[in-house]
Structure 1
């Protein structure tokens, strides 16, 4: 969009503003260094907004200030020209980003009083924090004269970003922390400006730590460290990360875990193949003397579990089978259960199974072939069991009195109280392979909400955080994983089914770079999905027929006659 068109659009929106006082956006949070005014550049058309014209009116100053925050590449130098000298020096737009749809008239009488509609916010690290409270969507830009010209003397510490601009200038990435047992990386979504220097943005977000600094469900080997020179440099495919502070790296394994956090974060930067880390004057050295660390480092900590089986499992004639390509193998042999099954669920390394009886009242967990001792759990109506990489079996009992969540750990059955989920009307449950996230589909007053709770273990006991809403949908039929960072939902309304993708943080799909919803014109009831990246996604018809969704191809379709297909986990 040209400068003229941007300016005209902003002027049209602001031209209807009325005048008198408003509430200022909060500007709390720790102050972080932000070198200069140029934020990482965006791809696409370059746009350098004009500064304030001589003799500009208060209205024109406000219009120009908002327009200047739509620069491409992303920068705030021009926006500072609309501020008084003291306000320009004090303004810290990196503290938060407010994304809004439009500006509507205020009921006050000042040209600097704005009301942002459809506003949401991101914190300093670029983490999506959801809807901005209504009171905080009232922004007061205090106008005053300086050297005979109108300037803005008070401004919230935030980048005010129109949604249409933000969706093109920013993209969603993942920074990686560790599960509390250090056995898996845990992806946490953040938004960062597209283009260079993306590496600096992502490492800075990683160094800011988990979304909740005291979160017991995440560990961080980078705690207490900061960028020593304010930026990550990239040259000839190698990113150089200079850090200051004190790192707690007592063992070679700890150094490997720190390297894995950086590797999985930096591998998203185009062209980066290796990286080097210095903590103070000391280079990070892994076993074998490795200092040029490949971004493929840390495969054993893959949040999707690189060792997980890619086979599918299901039922044929009511008995469990393993499906690999067009090869179908019965699981039971001489250990076939005496009762019919409704479905089967298999752990990540395909060594154990959890089978749900036809009436849904019993779950039996045993070796994959059904041999040996088994753990049996009884209830009212069990949903599809879930597994994490530690081998825990997660069970949702959809009781008429309200849902109950339990987990089987080393043969023990533990009740898990999940605030917002336990006791509610829950139709489905997912657990991430890293074992730190639980997603539940909760039905209330005719609508379906997808809720997320965070999980953590303290010895042999497990706890869950209060659930927060990730999405609201209608007619939810099934939930599943599409890779380790996306949840997919099958919904049916007015006879039409569609598959909808959602991000872990609940950010809108148009901002999170996720696929658009896909319509399914066949009558379907459930999904076949996997947390392993790149696996086909299928919708399942009432008679077991598969319908390809997204990149799935009919050439990949398993043999007919298999019902209740499922991936591991």
Structure 2
């Protein structure tokens, strides 16, 4: 959950699964809670070094109800793999029934305990009911999927006193765990697991397209094994309708598998419950690719994966280099050029790695001007470009070749002003082109198959507002929409469902907020497999640029340098590529470790391929 730009990239944290040099560190620093009195917060544990394992203390002999409640909450934030210490605060029956893995509730601060616990039953001294309360920020469900939520949190816990031992224990509680935001950030990390787009292949060989499915795992509790288990269980409910897995139904790690880690050759062996006869060679290669793409989030040095079947039979082995040829992966495709419009409204380009300011017109008609271009999009293979001209009325597509021709407009808008006409177009990896018409009287979202077919109007059944911008992900399975309602602009992510032969056509479904605290989003660009870069502002705030995860989770890290008047931004799925923006100063870029630099004072509408 780190957003540093190292060489232009956000580097995912690598969590060390090791004890501190002098042993484990016990949870401390939580406020003590008396058995009676007013409300008291259980403060979140201060952020610890991520290489330190944190364990909680078991209940003290003779501890009162308040101390039991406090100790239980502390134990929920520890690195205890099976919550064994937390279960010691429960009665044996409650410990056997409690399912902590079913959900994690994240509160703005540590949960508040109602310390004046109300008596229950006839023997008032042996039975009390206490309440946990707080303001919800998010939940993580049993599939480890994150979802921002608001509102209040209030749950009852019941405690009893054992008549023989005299010890208080919790005997009634809801499933799941609860903790403050800072404890969540210390305990959990966001990791992308990978599947393949259901209806997308790329190139003559028909490469499947990798799609990221972000989940949260406990970062210091055997995270690699957690991630493999999560991958094998299948995609999250939200993404499931548009992706597939190459693992046969029922595939799982062998029961004895735990503590998965690469060997000294950076090779990981994954023991599965499959027989060689169940897996074709091509499918096995795809399976290994899913594992490799997923675990590189945790271990960037991972070089190869071997899948083992039942009886230690080798199913297949895959190297990192070969994986990139097995599946099309957006973040591994480094763009050759940055493109933008110069002062003459021509499409110009400069090499991605350039440190200078020189640009040249692209080959073909878009590099010659004449259509009053307002925006441009270049296909992922950088062979074709789409331009919106005629003051936003017309969408043209042409080859980036000297002999290319412009032809007739593929999509036209009748909007009253340029701001009510066509958005900046965008391309996915299959070569499909996407654009929205902002005409307030007839708003529409279009897909142009292969950038040449008759435009297809795309249904957005959950849309509540008007689309002001649309940027498709490289995988073609997801799209980012800026939607305006009641004068506020929000950033939503939807999944793209293509016609499966039922005649339903293409649709964008499952809209969800990616930046719930931003109410004026002015620009957006995909900036990785599962994140976007957005320019916007919070209520009463000033404009800012920041990375956001598509599941709505917050990326922890330094803010980008301030840049006034941002009108457009360009980022790449390859996170090593510098950010570029169009602001009051024209085209500017942000090299790694530096400040914003001017590129072209008269330039507008910067884009990378896509």
Give TM class, smaller chain: 0.7 to 0.9
Q: CA deviation at 1:376?
A: 2.0
Q: Specify the alignment match of 1:258 in structure 2.
A: 287
Deviation for aligned residue 1:50: 2.1
Q: Which moved more, 1:215-224 or 1:427-436?
A: 215-224
Please say if 1:497 is aligned against 2:513.
no
In 2, the alpha carbon distance for the partners of 1:367 and 1:226 equals 47
1:493-528 deviation line (CA, Å, top 9, x unaligned): 889432121001001334xxxx44335244432212
The residue aligned with 2:581 is 539
Note the C-alpha offset of 1:490: 1.3
Write the mapping of 1:345-356 to structure 2, written as runs, cut at 5 A.
345-356=377-388
Counterparts of 1:509 and 1:375 in 2: how far apart (Å)? 40
Q: Does the CA contact (< 8 Å) of 2:523 and 2:535 recur in 1?
A: yes
Mapped pair 1:165 → 2:183: yes
1:511-530 equivalences under 5 Å are 515-530=557-572
Cα pair 1:481 1:530 within 8 Å, conserved: yes
8 Å CA contact retained: 2:587, 2:600: no
Matched, 1:401 2:441: yes
Partners of 2:137 and 2:410 in 1: how far apart? 49
Of 360, 368, 373, the residue aligned with 1:329 is 360
Out of 481, 495, 498, the residue aligned to residue 454 of structure 1 is 495
Alignment of 1:405-416 (within 5 A): 405-410=445-450, 411-416=453-458
CA distances 1:159-178 after superposition (whole Å, capped 9, x unpaired): 22232222112211111111
- The Cα shift of 1:213 comes to 8.1
- CA deviations 1:227-255 (Å, max 9, x no partner) are 11242532433322112258997653322
Q: How many residues align?
A: 533
Partner Cα distance (1:125, 1:14) in 2: 38
TM-score, normalising length: structure 2: 0.79
C-alpha distance in 2, partners of 1:138/1:480?
38
2:157 to 141, 151, 160: 141
- For 2:506, what is the secondary structure of its paired residue? strand
Q: Is the 8 A contact 2:34 2:67 kept in 1?
A: no
Change beyond 3 A, Cα 1:248–1:409 = farther
Name 2:110's counterpart in structure 1.
102
C-alpha spacing 1:406/1:551, structure 2 compared with 1 (3 Å): farther
Cα shift at 1:396: 0.8
Structure 1: segments with no counterpart, 5+ residues: 19-40
Distance 2:432 2:583 in 1: 30
TM-score for the superposition, normalised by structure 1: 0.84
Quick one: distance in 2 between partners of 1:476 and 1:162? 28
Quote the offset at 1:564 in angstroms: 2.1
Q: Cα deviation per residue 1:435-454 (whole Å; 9 max; x = unaligned)?
A: 01111111222322111110
Q: Given the alignment, which residue of 405, 408, 425 partners 1:371? A: 405
Distance (Å, rounded) in 2 between the aligned partners of 1:87 and 1:474:
44
Is contact 1:42–1:196 with CA below 8 Å preserved after alignment? no
Task: Structure 2: state its 5+ residue gaps.
Answer: 1-23, 41-47, 119-127, 202-207, 416-420
Q: How far 1:154 moved relative to its partner?
A: 2.0
SS in 1 for 2:330: coil
Shift in alpha-carbon separation, 1:348–1:42, aligned structure 2, 3 A? same
CA distance in 1, matches of 2:337, 2:523: 21
Shift of 1:383: 0.7
Pairing partner for 1:174 from 165, 182, 192: 192
1:486 aligns with 2:518: no
Choose from 269, 294, 297 the match for 1:240: 269
- Decide whether aligned partners of structure 1 residues 200 and 386 sit closer, same or farther in structure 2, where only a CA change above 3 A counts: same
Partners of 1:10 and 1:443 lie apart in 2 by 47
Question: Which among 473, 479, 483 is matched to residue 432 of structure 1?
Answer: 473
| Distance in 1 of aligned mates of 2:36 and 2:448 | 58
Which of 524-533 and 329-338 deviates more?
Answer: 329-338
Q: 1 CA distance for matches of 2:221 and 2:113?
A: 37
* SS of 1:391 mapped into structure 2: coil
Aligned to 1:32: none
Structure 1 counterpart of 2:96: 89
Secondary structure of 2:457 counterpart: strand
SS in 2 for 1:112: strand
1:304 corresponds to 2:327: no
1:308-344 CA distances to partner (integer Å, 9 max, x unpaired)? 6331112231122232235533235578464221122
**Relative CO higher for 1 or 2, CA cutoff 8 Å, sep ≥ 6?**
2
* Pair 372,119 (structure 1): closer, same or farther in 2 beyond 3 Å: closer
DSSP 3-state at the match of 2:498 = strand
The alignment partner of 1:518 has SS state of: coil
Does the CA contact (< 8 Å) of 2:492 and 2:514 recur in 1?
yes
- Distance in 2, Cα, partners of 1:154 & 1:73: 21
RMSD of aligned alpha carbons: 3.2
**Which stretch shows the higher mean deviation, 363-372 or 407-416?**
363-372
SS at match of 2:492: strand
Whole-Å separation in 2 of the counterparts to 1:246 and 1:124: 29
* Residues in 1 aligned to 2:484 and 2:594: alpha-carbon distance in whole angstroms: 30
In structure 1, the residue matched to 2:345 is 318
In 2 relative to 1, CA 259–108 (structure 1 residues): closer, same or farther, beyond 3 Å?
Answer: same
Q: Does 1:468 align with 2:512?
A: yes
Q: CA deviation at 1:118?
A: 2.4
Q: Does structure 1 residue 6 correspond to structure 2 residue 65? A: no
Q: Is the 8 A contact 1:241 1:276 kept in 2?
A: yes
Give 1:82 deviation, angstroms. 0.8
Give, in angstroms, the shift of residue 151 of structure 1: 1.0
